[in-house]
Amino acid sequence: MIRIDTNVLVRLLTADDKVQADKAKQLFKRQQIYITKTVILETEWVLRFAYRFSAEAIAGAFITLLGQENVIVEDAPHISLAASLLRGGMDFADALHLACSQDYTFVTFDKKLKAKANTAGMKQVKLL
């Protein structure tokens, strides 16, 4: 099993460089791939800011990755929940923080985050 860098995943998802995208596709076809949640987090940021992907497109790409037999994503249940929260309008990094903290009280100064968390049914968020 191999682990990949963000740039490999971005090439796979954007195909913005044909040569690198083809190499990434071949790698995913023939290897067992492990993707860390830090790579997922960075990929979301790159896709949103550099490529202007919509939240729906990013969430869909992550859900598709989670369903691949040869792909293991670190902390997949939390990544899945964060992708769902992203679809609901939450920032992905905030969503991942909440998903990974769902069994605990999560303290923040961010009133918008608390409001979005409440809307999503994530009641563990408290304002400091």
pTM of the full predicted structure? 0.93
The pLDDT of 78-84, averaged and rounded, is: 97
So what's the pLDDT on residue 117?
Answer: 95
Query: For 110, which DSSP code?
Result: -
Residue 30 tokens read as 């023939």
**How far is the CA of 25 from the CAs of 5, 21, 36, 38, 50, in angstroms?**
14, 6, 18, 21, 21
Span 11-49, pLDDT tens digits = 999 999 999 999 999 999 999 999 999 999 999 999 999
